[in-house]
Copies of this chain bind each other. A is one copy, B any other.
Amino acid sequence: MAGTQGQKGGATIYSVAERAGVSIATVSRVLQGSDKVSAKTRQRVMTAVEELRYMPLGAARSLAVRHHEAHGLLLPELSGPYYSELLMGFESRAAELGQSVVLMLAEGKDDVGRAVRSLATRVDGIALLASAAIPDSVPETLAGSKPVVVIAGEAKPDVEAITTENAASAKALTAHVLAHGRRRLVFAGDPDSGPDIRDRYAGFVAAHEDLRLTAAAPVRTDLRESAGAELADRVLAGELTTDALVCANDELALAVMKRLRQGGRTVPDDLAVVGWDDVMTARYVEPGLTTVRQPVRELGALAAERLHARITSADIVDETQVLPTQLVLRASCGCTPDPLA
């Protein structure tokens, strides 16, 4: 006879049962869509539910069924299209699987570890993006107590990884630039900031090796616009000699291009510039930015899917799944622009 009132906190299963003149078990059955309830009883219950505007309490259900029915997703931040696409793919697939998504951003949190521990308290599993903003200790601590999937990262014991292809396409991209006759390529981005950029640099190096060339050391920079301007300034000042900049992402490449033009340099004639991600701006700028497109949305969906698989079964996948990427050739590398683009 508990909680029959529920005036303050809303209706409960008890108040609905009372109103419909049935037991709470019957109400529960109706709400679960059980077929072992007579039509008229079902109707009475439904009526009571609507009259009382009954809304079950998720926490109570979770406690009883021993599932949160929620996926946690941890991202560094959300600027740029990459994270958004990823998130859209993740949310969409999670919803299809009947799971809600609890989002957490690392940016601005002084203690990400603590925040994640609290997140882990309310979800059945966590997907997270490998990134310098998210310490390695996070997945390590989580693994073993909760299912974990890392995106764009590396598998560890008890941690499944999924990613998009980096090394091969970076090699193809670099080879393409070399094929334009450039010989003083510079890679801009920090290989230590995460496995994806590390692999892109590896591809950069590999393309050089194929031609018996020696790749320059990477220019370690973050991927913000401001870093791009600084990088371009170094080129303009003659500190950095290069005829082709292979940037770790598009934002960096675009910022570099802009500042270079302001400084009087012509892309691609004086200097080729290529990026990674194929953001919207890449096809709006002049010249169009040559870059690599990743199936980011699919990556997000796959993350939700794999996480769910790990939660529901002990469906272990050993090899990290790799989604293919695609070279997008425009004019910034030296190609002739497609007049129809």
Contact = CB atoms under 8 A, between A and B. Distances in A.
Given A57-B63, A122-B59, A145-B10, A254 B101 contact: no
Interface string A299-332: 0000000000000000000000000000000000
Interface residues of A, number: 54
Contacts of A145: 10, 53, 55
Copies in the complex: 2
A224 to B, nearest CB: 12
A20 to B, nearest CB: 19
Query: For A85, A103, A286, which residue has the most chain B Cβ atoms within 10 angstroms?
Result: A103
A223 B55 CA distance: 36
Contacts of A103: 87, 91, 101-103
Interface string A15-59: 000000000000000000000000000000000000001011111
A265 to B, nearest CB: 16
A240 interface: no
A119 B92 contact: no
Interface stretch (A107-115, A168-176, A196-204): A107-115
Contact of A108 (B95, B108, B119, B122): B95
B63 A63 contact: yes
A62 interface: yes
Interface string A64-107: 00101010000001110101110110011001000011111101
A146 B286 CA distance: 50
Contacts of A66: 9
The 5 closest A-B pairs by CB, nearest first: A58-B122, A59-B62, A58-B121, A78-B84, A281-B281
Given A9-B66, A84-B84, A284-B284, 5 more contacts: A10-B145, A53-B145, A55-B121, A58-B122, A79-B85
